[in-house]
Structure 1
Amino acid sequence: MLIDKKEFEGNGIHYFVRLAKVIDAQELSELRVQIDGETENLDREKGEGFIDASGFEKLIKSDTENNTNLFLVAEVNDRIVGFSRCEGNQLKRFSHKIEFGVCVLKELWGHGIGKNLLKESISWADTNNIKKITLNVLETNDKAIKLYQKLGFEIEGILKKDKILSDGEYYNTIIMGRFKE
């Protein structure tokens, strides 16, 4: 599915949001490992669930060919600094919805990159007759939860004691969704 490359500015940083390309695969592989090591807000620890360049190439090709998937990247000075994916389901009973995920380098938090990746994904979903977007967020990620609510997402459920973090404590995962009538 095609979307146009868009330029944004946030807190003095200029960046672009565009579709992922096969040529991005190696950089995405390295970026994902780095981001996983910078925060406990994501599901993986650094190096877990590793996807190499060829794995990202396959993912990007598949997402490009599938009209219910979207893979976006954010670039600052020709360097990928974040990405998001929307993944649909081919089963008819779930064909109306997608699951959204996003990650951004910690050094660039607060510049609106994650927000604009999500806004572009919402716009794409709304244009392509996708009725529901779902996502999961760690209960301690207050900034993300507030952003999601501001963009029309509601809390749909809680997975209790769903993750164990480095402090040895268990944390809940918040399930959120946005439904377009």
Structure 2
Amino acid sequence: MRVNQKEFYSNNFQYSIRSATVEDAENLSAVRLQIDGETEHLDREKGEAYIDESGFKQIIIDDAESSRNLFLVACADHRIVGFSRCEGNKLKRFSHKAEFGVCVLKEYWGYGIGKNLLIESIHWADSNEIRKMTLNVLETNKKAIKIYEAYGFEVEGILKKDKLLSDGNYYNTILMGRLNI
């Protein structure tokens, strides 16, 4: 599914959020690779589960054609600086929900980009009969957890000792959900 572009201003900084297009595929591949190397908040290390340009093109096409999926990009300084996806489920018993994921280049943290990608995704979900949004977040990502809670997400479970990080320690993954029933 596609949404209209919106403009945002924060701390004298301007960016936009819009639906991804196939023309974004090459940039998305590079941005995802960079983001994976900038933080341990995400599941992948840099280069793992790499998606090339053609892989992103197919994801974008599939998402645009699906009423249960949404792929958004955040653009600033004439480039993609972050993105989010809501991925629905084709199985009837799960067709009421979508899983949310978001990532933003580290140099663009602090401008509300991730929060606004979340808000736009929530608005889309609420407008398209998505009754439940789910997400996974690393326990150490306290700022993200606070934002998710502020927008109606609740902790639904904890995967104990779920991720092994570079410090050699295991960390919990928090499962969160937001209901619109």
TM-score of the aligned structures, taking structure 2 as reference length: 0.99
Matches within 5 A, 1:72-87: 72-87=72-87
Please report the RMSD computed on the Cα atoms of aligned residues, expressed in angstroms. Answer: 0.5
Q: Deviations over 1:38-57 (max 9, x none)?
A: 00000000000000000000
What secondary structure is seen at the aligned counterpart in 1 of 2:38?
coil
Query: What stretches of structure 1 move > 4 A for 4+ residues in a row?
Result: none
Structure 1 Cα separation of the partners of residues 96 and 118 of structure 2: 18
- Name stretches of at least 5 consecutive residues in structure 1 with no aligned partner: none
Question: Percent identity, aligned pairs only?
Answer: 68
Matches within 5 A, 1:125-140: 125-140=125-140
Structure 1 Cα separation of the partners of residues 172 and 108 of structure 2: 26
The residue that corresponds to 2:49 in the other structure is 49
> What amino acid is the match of 2:32?
R
Q: Deviations over 1:22-66 (max 9, x none)?
A: 000000000000000000000000000000000000000000001
Say yes or no: does 1:111 pair with 2:122.
Answer: no
Structure 1 Cα separation of the partners of residues 171 and 2 of structure 2: 37
Q: Deviations over 1:79-110 (max 9, x none)?
A: 10000000000000000000000000001111
> What amino acid is the match of 2:3?
I
Structure 1 Cα separation of the partners of residues 80 and 4 of structure 2: 17
Structure 1 Cα separation of the partners of residues 3 and 150 of structure 2: 23
Q: Greater shift after overlay, 135-144 or 9-18?
A: 9-18
The residue that corresponds to 2:28 in the other structure is 28
Aligned residue pairs, count: 181
> What amino acid is the match of 1:121?
S
- Name stretches of at least 5 consecutive residues in structure 2 with no aligned partner: none
What secondary structure is seen at the aligned counterpart in 2 of 1:134?
strand
Structure 2 Cα separation of the partners of residues 36 and 112 of structure 1: 19
Structure 2 Cα separation of the partners of residues 115 and 29 of structure 1: 22
Structure 1 Cα separation of the partners of residues 46 and 79 of structure 2: 20
